[in-house]
Structure 1
C-alpha cells in the first residue's frame, strides 16, 4: 500500500516495525492534550488507527487530514492497549503536515454514531463511511463480489451487461419509467431484473452468462429492500435444476468462506411443502428449533369440536417457556395469533410427569393429553402452543410465532443456507377472472411429473422453481424455464392469456424461441441481503454505500428533486399539481 505520500497504513504497524521511520496519512480520530508540550493523536485510515506522540503546539483538530512522518517505538510498560491491533506501538518524533482542515463533525466518527438518527447519518454519509463499521461492511461487500466472480469465471461463465433502458413489462412490482425526448409520449422502463435479456442470451448461444446487475423497483421500502439493488444474475443452457443449484451453492459458499475465513455448513435442500409443514414459512431460519409438530391425528374423533372439526392441528414446543410466559404474555401471544389470521391459540404448560395445565385441558381425554405430550416431546416446564384451522393458516400462524419466539439476532448462530424447491406453479385463483394466479413469472417450467394436471388440477402443479434462503432471509429465486412454444402456450391458456395478447405483451421475447431455444435455467442472488447477513447487519442500508431512506429519499443529495421547465418541455411531458 506504499504510495508517494505514505509508506504504511495506520493499522498495519506492529512491533516488527519498531525503529523504522514511517509516513502514515489519515484523519485525526482523537486528540488528547497533556500540558503545553505533549499531545497524543490517534490517526485513522481504513485499516485502523495508530497513536502518535506529537508536540503540544501542533494545531490539529478532529477529522483534520494529516501526514505524519515518525519513528515506530514500543509503548511504555503499562500503556499497551490490547483492544487495538497497533496497541503495542506508537509513533515518536512526529513531523505533522496538515493536508486538509476540517469543520467539527456533526456526530462522532466512531461506534457512538450507531445511536445517531439515521437521517443525520445519511445526510453526512461521506462522514459515516469513515467509521470502522462502515469500512468493514464495504470491504466485506467487495470480498463477496470477488469470491462470487472467481467461482464463476473458471466454470466458463461469460460476464455480459444487459440494457438499463428497456420496454415496460409491468408484470411484478411498479417500474421506474424514463420519458423519451426523441419519441414524445413514449417511455423506457428501468429493469426490475435482466430476466428477458438473459434468456435471450441463451437463445443466442452464450451458454453460461452472469452479471452483477443493477435492478430497480418502485415498491415500498423496508429493512431488506431498496429502490435500486444489486443481484448476481445467472443463466445456463443445457442444464437441469441440480446443475443450477450446484453452481449457485458453490458460489455463495465461497462468498461465505471469504468473509468468515472458515468452514460453512453445507446447504440443506427441502421442498416448499416440507418447509411450510416444518417451519411454517417458505424461507425457514434453520439456526434454531421450535419446529411445527403435526397433531391432527391426535384429535380424530375428539369431543373437543375446535380440534375435531379442524382440517389441521399443529403445535410448537417452547422449551422452558412456562417460566418465561405469564398470563399477560400468553394473552399477547393469543392476540398475535389472531392478528396473523388464526381463530385462536391454545396454550398448554407442561408439568411434572407430563401433566398439562390449560384452559382447554378439561375438554380433552387422557389419551389426547398424553398424545399431545408424546407428539411434541413436551417436558416439565415447557410451553406448548397449538393452532387448529386450514393447513395453510395453521402453518403461517405458527411459523410467525416460531420466528417471534426463537429467531436469533443477525450475526448470531452462524450461517445456515437452505434450498427450497418444488414451489406451487400457481398460488390460488384470481377472484375476478377465475383463473389461476402464477406463483412466479409465466415462463417458469412446470414439474414434469405434474404436466398432466395442468388443465385439470392447476393448483396441484408444482414448478421447477427454487429459492435460496439464508438465516430466514430469501436471498434470491430462480427456475428452469420453458423453452418450447407449445408448452408456453399451454401456460398462457391456463392463465387466460390469448395468443394475440401474449404476442402483444411478450412478442419481442417469445418470437426468438421459435428459432431454436436450448433448455435453460437460472437464478439471481440478492447481493445486498447476502452481504448484510454475512456482515451481521439486519438492515441492508448498512452495506450499501449511498442508500435511500425508508421513505425513498436521499438526504445527502436531496433526491428526488423537481426538474426545470425547459427539461419538462423537451421531454414532452406535463407535471400535474399535487393534491
Structure 2
C-alpha cells in the first residue's frame, strides 16, 4: 500500500513520487490550499494539496484534502519537493509531499481526546489504542523494543540459551501473593502463575544447561504503584559454576554495551560497589541515588545525654538511630514547607521531624533558629554543626527511631529534598549493592523472613554457624541500582540440600511443609547440583529510565491501573456460573459494607 514511511521521507527523495499511509495529525484548509501533517510510527511529514501550476487543476485532490479530519486514516501519493519554510523540529522538516492523490481509507469519528492534549491517565488507558498512536508513546514503546532487541543480541552472541519455563506452576507463596488458576481436570486443586522462574532456572543449571536466559512474564498479586504492575517482564539469567564476581562482571558489561547501543550513553566502568550496611548508613536506602550528594550523618553519640528526650532515648536504645541531614540553602524554607517535609517523612514511619536553621554559623547558638535548640547545650550544638558540615543558610533535619525506621524516612526525605532543591546531578549513576542481610525479623509473624528469597546462599558455608548467627548473617545477594532504582537483583544460590533445609527451618518452614512446597528442589539438590547464581532485571523499569518517564505504565503497551483494572477491556470481570462450574468454583457473595 505504501512505498515509504512518513517519517523517513528526506531530501534524497526530492523529485520522486512516493505513496504514504498514515493518520492526519493536523489538517489546515486555507481555501484552495490545504496542508496535512501525515503521521505514522516513524514520524510526520507535511503533505500539500495545491492547484496545478500549469493548468490550475487538481480540484479533486484539493477537495479530498479539505474534508480530512483529525486522525482520519489516509493513503497519499505525491511528489517530494524542497520545503520553503523549514521545520527543524521534525526529521522531515526540509521536505514536503505535493499530493497527486488522497485516498480516505477510514474516517475517524470525533475522538474522546486530542493527541496534543494531556488527558487524565484513566482516559488514556481506556482508549489505549489512541494513546499509543501519539508520538511520545511511540517513542517510549520503541525505546523498550530497542532495549529488548539489544539484550537478546548480547546474550545470544555469548552462548546464553533462551529456554521457556512454565506459566502454570505450583503455588509456593513466600512474600507476595500468587495468582491462582483452578485446574479443571483436578477438582479442588490449583496452578499458580509464576512470580519468577526462580526454581526452574536453578534446576536448568542442575540439568547442565550452564547459561540460561529468558524474557519472562511474571505475576504478583500485590499493591500497584508507579514502578509495580500485577504482570511484569524481567530478563531472567542464571549461570552455573560461578561466584559473585563472575556474574556481576558479566551483567555489568552487558548493561554498559546495551546503554551504549540504545542510548549512546557510557556508563561507569567499573560500577562502584557498596555494602548494604554502608548504603543504609550513608543514604538510608538499599538503592541510593548517587546523583544526589546529600548524606545522612549519625549524631547519636553526640546527643546521648541531651535534654531532648526523643534524641536521648533513641541514642541509648540498643536498636536506635539518631541521624541528621543537611539541606544546603534550606534556611529559606517556610514553616509550612518544613511541615510538608515532616508529613512526607511520616509516610515512611516518622513520628516527628526535628529541624534547625543555621542563620549565621559564626554566632553559634545565637545564629540558629530551632524549637529544639534550647534542649541542646553549646558543646552539643557545636558538635552537631561540625559533624554535619552545616554552613550559614543551611537547614538540618533530624530523625530518631529504630535504626531501620529512621533510615527509611530520612532516606525518603533525602530524595525529596534532592529533587526539590535541584540537587540531582545530570547523567547516570550505576551501583552494585552487596552483602545484604540474610534475614529480617517479622514482628507480626514472629519469625525470620528472607530479605531476597529463601534460595539465596549465606556467606557462611556451615549450617551450624548460620543457625547460631541468624540475626547477623550476611547473604551472597547483590542488587544493581541505577539512579536510585533497583533494576536488577540476584544472588549466588544454595546448592546443597542440607543448607537449603537449614534456611527453610530458620524461616519457619518445617520439614513437612518444605517437602510439600519444595520437595522437587530439595531432591534435585541431592544429585550433584553445581554452584550457581544469577540475576533478574526489570525490563519495565529499565525501559522507563531510558524513556525518561517515572511510570512503568508508559512503557507497557496495555498496563493495569493502580486499582488493578484494565480500563480498555474491562478486566477483571464476572464469569458466568456455567463457566465457574466447569472449574469447580463457586463465588461467595460480597459482604455488605
> Which residue pairs with 2:295 in the alignment?
291
> Which residue pairs with 1:199 in the alignment?
202
- Residue 467 (structure 2) pairs with residue 455 (structure 1): yes
Shift of 1:368: 2.3
> Which residue pairs with 1:533 in the alignment?
545
Query: Which residue of the other structure, out of 12, 22, 29, is the alignment partner of 1:26?
Result: 22
The CA distance in 2 between the partners of 1:386 and 1:118, in whole Å, is 37
Shift of 1:138: 1.2
> Which residue pairs with 1:68 in the alignment?
76
Question: Per-residue displacement from partner, 1:292-330 (whole Å, max 9, x unpaired)?
Answer: 11223334555555444414322111111111x112222
Higher mean C-alpha deviation, range 453-462 or range 297-306: 297-306
> Which residue pairs with 2:373 in the alignment?
361
Shift of 1:457: 2.6
The CA distance in 2 between the partners of 1:47 and 1:404, in whole Å, is 37
Shift of 1:14: 2.2
> Compared with structure 1, are the counterparts of its residues 130 and 278 closer, same or farther at alpha carbon in structure 2 (3 Å cutoff)?
same
**Alpha carbons 2:292, 2:415 under 8 Å: kept:** no
**Alpha carbons 1:151, 1:251 under 8 Å: kept:** yes
Shift of 1:29: 0.9
Shift of 1:452: 5.9
Shift of 1:570: 1.9
The CA distance in 2 between the partners of 1:568 and 1:307, in whole Å, is 59
Shift of 1:339: 5.2
Shift of 1:191: 0.8
Within a 5 Å distance, the mapping from 1:421-440 to structure 2 comes to 421-432=434-445, 434-440=446-452
> Which residue pairs with 1:50 in the alignment?
45
The CA distance in 1 between the partners of 2:339 and 2:99, in whole Å, is 68
**Alpha carbons 2:273, 2:431 under 8 Å: kept:** yes
> Which residue pairs with 2:57 in the alignment?
none
The CA distance in 2 between the partners of 1:214 and 1:513, in whole Å, is 26
The CA distance in 1 between the partners of 2:401 and 2:69, in whole Å, is 66
> Compared with structure 1, are the counterparts of its residues 179 and 533 closer, same or farther at alpha carbon in structure 2 (3 Å cutoff)?
same
Query: Which residue of the other structure, out of 457, 473, 477, is the alignment partner of 1:465?
Result: 477
**Alpha carbons 2:306, 2:375 under 8 Å: kept:** no
Query: Which residue of the other structure, out of 333, 338, 351, is the alignment partner of 1:330?
Result: 338
Shift of 1:345: 2.6
The CA distance in 1 between the partners of 2:441 and 2:240, in whole Å, is 31
**Alpha carbons 1:151, 1:250 under 8 Å: kept:** no
The CA distance in 2 between the partners of 1:283 and 1:239, in whole Å, is 25
> Which residue pairs with 1:237 in the alignment?
240
- Residue 406 (structure 2) pairs with residue 397 (structure 1): no
Shift of 1:80: 2.0
> Compared with structure 1, are the counterparts of its residues 449 and 393 closer, same or farther at alpha carbon in structure 2 (3 Å cutoff)?
farther
* TM superposition score normalised by structure 1: 0.93
> Compared with structure 1, are the counterparts of its residues 72 and 162 closer, same or farther at alpha carbon in structure 2 (3 Å cutoff)?
same
The CA distance in 2 between the partners of 1:133 and 1:358, in whole Å, is 47
> Which residue pairs with 1:314 in the alignment?
323
> Compared with structure 1, are the counterparts of its residues 388 and 556 closer, same or farther at alpha carbon in structure 2 (3 Å cutoff)?
closer
> Which residue pairs with 1:381 in the alignment?
393
Task: Please give the secondary structure, in 1, of the residue aligned with 2:295.
Answer: coil
Question: Per-residue displacement from partner, 1:148-167 (whole Å, max 9, x unpaired)?
Answer: 11222222210000011111
**Alpha carbons 1:451, 1:461 under 8 Å: kept:** no
Within a 5 Å distance, the mapping from 1:45-194 to structure 2 comes to 45-54=40-49, 55-58=61-64, 59-76=67-84, 79-110=85-116, 112=117, 115-194=118-197
Question: Which 5+ residue runs of structure 2 have no aligned equivalent?
Answer: 50-60
The CA distance in 1 between the partners of 2:69 and 2:307, in whole Å, is 78
Task: Please give the secondary structure, in 2, of the residue aligned with 1:57.
Answer: helix
The CA distance in 1 between the partners of 2:349 and 2:272, in whole Å, is 30
The CA distance in 2 between the partners of 1:332 and 1:407, in whole Å, is 14
Higher mean C-alpha deviation, range 510-519 or range 340-349: 340-349
The CA distance in 1 between the partners of 2:90 and 2:172, in whole Å, is 53
* TM superposition score normalised by structure 2: 0.90
**Alpha carbons 1:158, 1:208 under 8 Å: kept:** yes
**Alpha carbons 2:292, 2:425 under 8 Å: kept:** no
Question: Per-residue displacement from partner, 1:166-200 (whole Å, max 9, x unpaired)?
Answer: 11112221111111222222211111111111111
Question: Which 5+ residue runs of structure 1 have no aligned equivalent?
Answer: none
**Alpha carbons 1:184, 1:572 under 8 Å: kept:** yes
Shift of 1:387: 2.2
Task: Please give the secondary structure, in 2, of the residue aligned with 1:407.
Answer: helix
Task: Please give the secondary structure, in 2, of the residue aligned with 1:541.
Answer: helix
Higher mean C-alpha deviation, range 521-530 or range 88-97: 88-97
**Alpha carbons 2:4, 2:18 under 8 Å: kept:** yes
**Alpha carbons 1:202, 1:235 under 8 Å: kept:** yes
Query: Which residue of the other structure, out of 204, 212, 217, is the alignment partner of 2:215?
Result: 212
Question: Per-residue displacement from partner, 1:535-571 (whole Å, max 9, x unpaired)?
Answer: 0111111101111122121121122222333322222
Cα RMSD, aligned residues only: 2.2
> Which residue pairs with 1:39 in the alignment?
34
Question: Per-residue displacement from partner, 1:425-447 (whole Å, max 9, x unpaired)?
Answer: 11015555x44222232221111
Instruction: Give the paired residue count.
Output: 567
The CA distance in 1 between the partners of 2:406 and 2:226, in whole Å, is 27
- Residue 490 (structure 2) pairs with residue 478 (structure 1): yes
**Alpha carbons 2:323, 2:406 under 8 Å: kept:** yes
> Compared with structure 1, are the counterparts of its residues 330 and 102 closer, same or farther at alpha carbon in structure 2 (3 Å cutoff)?
closer
The CA distance in 1 between the partners of 2:574 and 2:306, in whole Å, is 66
The CA distance in 2 between the partners of 1:298 and 1:576, in whole Å, is 59
The CA distance in 2 between the partners of 1:466 and 1:295, in whole Å, is 29
Task: Please give the secondary structure, in 2, of the residue aligned with 1:546.
Answer: coil
**Alpha carbons 1:208, 1:237 under 8 Å: kept:** yes
Shift of 1:135: 0.7
Question: Per-residue displacement from partner, 1:397-431 (whole Å, max 9, x unpaired)?
Answer: 2111112211379x983222222111111101555
> Compared with structure 1, are the counterparts of its residues 412 and 57 closer, same or farther at alpha carbon in structure 2 (3 Å cutoff)?
farther
Shift of 1:67: 1.7
Question: Per-residue displacement from partner, 1:438-479 (whole Å, max 9, x unpaired)?
Answer: 223222111128866422231100111112222222223211
> Compared with structure 1, are the counterparts of its residues 62 and 332 closer, same or farther at alpha carbon in structure 2 (3 Å cutoff)?
closer
